[in-house]
Structure 1
Amino acid sequence: MNEEGIEEGNEEEFDAREDFMAWCREHTGPLRRTARRHARDHQAADDAVQHVLESFWRKWEVADLRRKVKNTPGYAQRCVINAWRSMERSETAERERLKKYASGEPVPETQDLYSDIEWKLSLPPMLDMLNPTWRSVIELRYRQGRSFPEIAALMGISESTARRFDRRALIALAEAERAWGEKGGGDGRR
């Protein structure tokens, strides 16, 4: 028996699914109202709430997260607002990128490694010449939009290694881009 008079091994099992569903029933309405005050339409608001709920569910068995979410009502609302802002930024960037490439104008030359990563990824010969591990990091980072901690967890490497592989791959892509243009690859950049 422990100090509270409960026999060891007979404590109720924590049911994460039931606990999470109860929390969702109580808080989804207020979260949706918060999101709808900020979002441009109801669909975007619901997407932000869904994104946050998925994130919470993946981590619901972690006691620290449950305490933070249950004891701080503003935490979940702040997460919804941040999720909506993040989605809005990525949608705006995608619209701008599509507008720029649809116009047919040549992409400006730049020394920035992170510029026009979509254009670089669209050329298979460039990706084929990368180290397979670097290519995986680039694919996860720029095609799937994953963060460095997520990439590190997925690939079983440290976050600093994921960042280093990303940097090296971008340098290799920039060198390949220059070589591609010098060989007359028809990229529209001169």
Structure 2
Amino acid sequence: MTSRVMLISPAISAALREARFDDNCPLDASGLRLARAAAHVLPSVSRVWVSPTARCRETAQALGLDAGSASGPAGLDAGRWRGSTLTEVAEKEPEALAQWLADPESAPHGGESVRALCDRVARWLDDTAAQVTGRSVVVAEPEVVRAATVRALGAPESAFWRIDVPPLTATELSGRAGRWNVRVGWQLGPAQEE
């Protein structure tokens, strides 16, 4: 049974602009405008999931998707770094940040490691493929899109940091549990303001 899972990254928000570990920041006016403008480009879908953050729920709603749909995979649990910018963490905990970026099993922030995120997203993806045929959409944090791409390609977790996921782009996985093809990063609407 073949599934198509379209992973859509949320539109721009202050947290994304500031390279801030998610603090449940809503979309900014620009992000909301761009998401609304992109609503007409989505194909029809059989199922929608939305990650639990405000920016994912608001992006889904602006795209005309049911933001009250089933909960999709949550973003990375950044532990005590939640709400901090990457620059702030680099200033306060440079060794811990370097360790986290270099070692996929590391979680010096007390949250989730990159490997754990990749494993969690892969389990979700396999469960989804087993349950749903046709095209599904999940509006998910950029790190979820990275994790799904890493697992779909069978790449090492070190590739996680080498995948850019711009705001309001789609990555489509087609196939079935254990074997996926990847179509990456197509823009849903007009060029993003970064």
Q: Structure 2-normalised TM-score?
A: 0.25
Which of structures 1 and 2 has the bigger CA Rg? 1
Give the structure with the larger helix fraction. 1
Higher RCO (C-alpha 8 Å, min separation 6): 2
Q: Structure 1-normalised TM-score?
A: 0.25
